[in-house]
Structure 1
Amino acid sequence: MEKTEIPITVVVPSYNQGRFIDDTITSLLEQDYPALDILVMDGGSTDDTVERLKRYGDRITWISERDFGQSDAIAKGFARAREGWITWLNSDDVQCNRALWAVNEVVARNPEVEVVVGNGHYMDEDGNNPRPYPTIPVGPTIDVAGQMFEKGYVAQPSIFFRKSAYTKAGGINRALKFCMDYDLWTRLALAGCRFAACDVDISGNRWYATTKSAGQTLELLAEVAAVQVKHFGRVSPYFVQAISDNLYQTLHGDHYGDTHHMVYRLLYFKAVWLWLNIRRPSYCLRGLFRETIAKSGPLVGDRLTIGDCWRGLRKAIGGTKVAA
């Protein structure tokens, strides 16, 4: 039987990313994937992005016009995509390790699959210092919606999905500024789409100070919490701790130092838990008594025990008395 490559459209939302966009487009073209459409949706860049796009001729399709932000650009691109498989690749990220071919192989082995989730890595602004991007497990025996609720960590540039599944899930929410990807993956899972894993590192995600995710972390987490409440009616311990740790560091740690920081971090966690989950009384009360923080951050499993909490509280109280 003759092997046929699945059609893939990659939408590249772009705005004033001329210094990165050649790396992004080249990472796609160099794969020599015969069934690829590259559609750059530029938001009217004022740097040299458009001049760079012109150099690719008919190897890519591009549009440069004002839009209402990243989500709007992605949605407009997907509306233009042909039927088949789609994804988006931000104009400062790259694909690697023959990503398109790797996805094609997963689909060939799993013809009914609707969403393919690959591995990825973070990298610095110059493309160096790669480190793994945490990724949830997916597959036919895994509750993907549950995984999305608990942590939801996936490398956005490493996810490919059928356009029909995208339509079934309701498409991109253009109102979201930060977590339009998390919201879409959650809706794909809740819609019953079939997920399959691609156990290859297929994307590089730049992480530097002026990215939206790095520069506006609390705003991003607040949007994720709102999405969780919308879809699940509650916020998971992982995201509660991510928010509470951010608030603790901003409001307390940066000004008062880290003395008794475990106690204060736990108090922040309990306060944020109550604030975000009070709509679900039984879940909220259970969490107030049972949930604790991980000592090293939300992704680490070194959770505080009751003994740790008691010893820390006694030390904090004792330290306060001595200071007085």
Structure 2
Amino acid sequence: MSVKGLVSVVIPAYNVGAHISEAIDSVLAQDYSEMELVVVDDGSKDDTADVVETRYPQVTLIRKANGGAATARNAGIRAAQGEFIAFLDADDIWLPGKLRAQIDHLNAYAEVGMNCTDFARWVSDDRGVFPDPLLEIPDQGGMAAGAIDQELSGWVYHKLLLDNFVWTTTVVMRRSLIDKIGLYDESFRLGQDYEYFLRASHETVVHRLSRVYALYRQHAGSATARGIDYNYAARVIEGARAKWGLASPNGECISPREFQDRLHKIHFMCGYVFWQRGNAATAFNEFKHAVRDKPLHLKSWAYALLTGARAIFQ
């Protein structure tokens, strides 16, 4: 039984002792008082859990063995008591007014089970120092707090197949929606959020607020920067197509050609990344799929031949 009006903020954390205080402080600074914070330490090897335990006695801290972000988010969801669940990655931050704008919006639109917001990237200088976050907020031109991005709102499942424009740190979901779609798929080490929000978008109308309400910290220690030699994005969208096809519940859809183009771009991009990392065999497999998806794309053929030859001698 969830507590009406309460927002449970779930923060998975792994080796973010240097950044997690900024994340938590950005939540505590929100102008919404009915909330609980649940931090799930996913087997950190640094002082992440100690920082939370020492500095933030009001936070519910869960310690667990390392299992990945999906397992940590699921542990947080299970412990959460709120009517609403909000997600925040431990190295990112929320901007002032975020939570109030999103909860007010959900209260105003009963048919919306999930909303998200725009965000900006937060990049360090050459010394690794991140600038004052308030200086990183782009000019929003007097945009209203709850302004809706009409292009990226509504039944958006078919649009999400072509572009993952929902970023986890900006998401607030109703607990009732989570009860319907279940927990994160723990078989994904990356891409679990993309799969989860595709699943959600097939069950509910999603609204994206136009204002920038969060900053995405870009640094070498992030999961996406560390990278894994497996193409999770292709697995996510191919799995979604197999389950639900290419159409949203309201009938809007993308074409098979658009989907193939999207797959091609994913395979080509991943192939190039793996090639840059020196993993020719994995890169070859991606370029082989890129050729399958778009046989007339000459660059895919060229890289497939190059990586295939290099893989033989690796």
Same fold (TM over 0.5): yes
Residue number in structure 2 paired with 1:212:
223
- Equivalence map 1:80-159=2 (5 Å): 80-125=79-124, 126-128=129-131, 130=136, 137-140=151-154, 143-159=155-171
Query: Residue 80 and residue 270 in structure 1: after superposition, are their counterparts in 2 closer, same or farther (change >3 A)?
Result: closer
Offset, 1:107 = 1.5
Higher RCO, 1 or 2 (CA under 8 Å, sep at least 6)?
2
**2:218 counterpart of 1:194:** no
2:173 maps to 1:161: yes
Alpha carbons of 1:239 and 1:215: their partners in 2 closer, same or farther (altered >3 Å)?
A: farther
Per the alignment, do residues 195 and 51 of structure 1 end up closer, same or farther by CA in structure 2, a change over 3 Å counting? same
- Name which one, 1 or 2, has greater alpha-carbon Rg: 1
Percent identity between matched residues is 20
1:9-51 deviation line (CA, Å, top 9, x unaligned): 1111112211001001000001142111100111243322233
The Cα shift of 1:136 comes to: 9.7
Letter in 1 for 2:239: K
SS of residue in 1 equivalent to 2:186: coil
- For residue 17 of structure 1, give the secondary structure of its aligned residue in structure 2: coil
Change (3 A) 1:71 1:269: closer
CA apart distance, 1:63:
1.8
- Higher relative helix content: 1
Relative to structure 1, the CA distance from residue 236 to residue 31 in structure 2 (aligned partners, 3 Å threshold; closer, same or farther) is farther
Task: Tell me the SS of whatever aligns to 2:234.
Answer: helix
SS in structure 1 opposite 2:74?
Answer: helix
**Corresponding residue number in structure 1 for 2:281:** none
2:50 match? 51
| Deviation (angstroms), 1:139 | 2.6
Instruction: Kindly state the Cα deviation for residue 97 of structure 1 after the two structures are TM-superposed.
Output: 2.8
Q: TM-score, normalised by structure 2?
A: 0.72
Quick one: structure 1 residues 139 and 250, their matched pair in 2 at CA, closer, same or farther if it must change by over 3 Å? closer
Extract unaligned runs of 5+ from structure 1: 255-267, 276-283, 296-324
Does residue 1:272 correspond to 2:286, yes or no?
A: no
Change (3 A) 1:248 1:109: same
**Residues in 2 aligned to 1:101 and 1:24: alpha-carbon distance in whole angstroms:** 17
- The correspondence of residues 240-259 of structure 1 with structure 2, limited to 5 A, is 240-248=264-272, 251=275
Query: Aligned with 1:198: secondary structure?
Result: strand
* Structural RMSD (CA): 3.5
Q: What is the DSSP-based 3-state SS (H/G/I as helix, E as strand, rest coil) of the residue aligned with 2:44?
A: coil
Count of residues in Structure 1 that have an aligned counterpart in Structure 2: 263
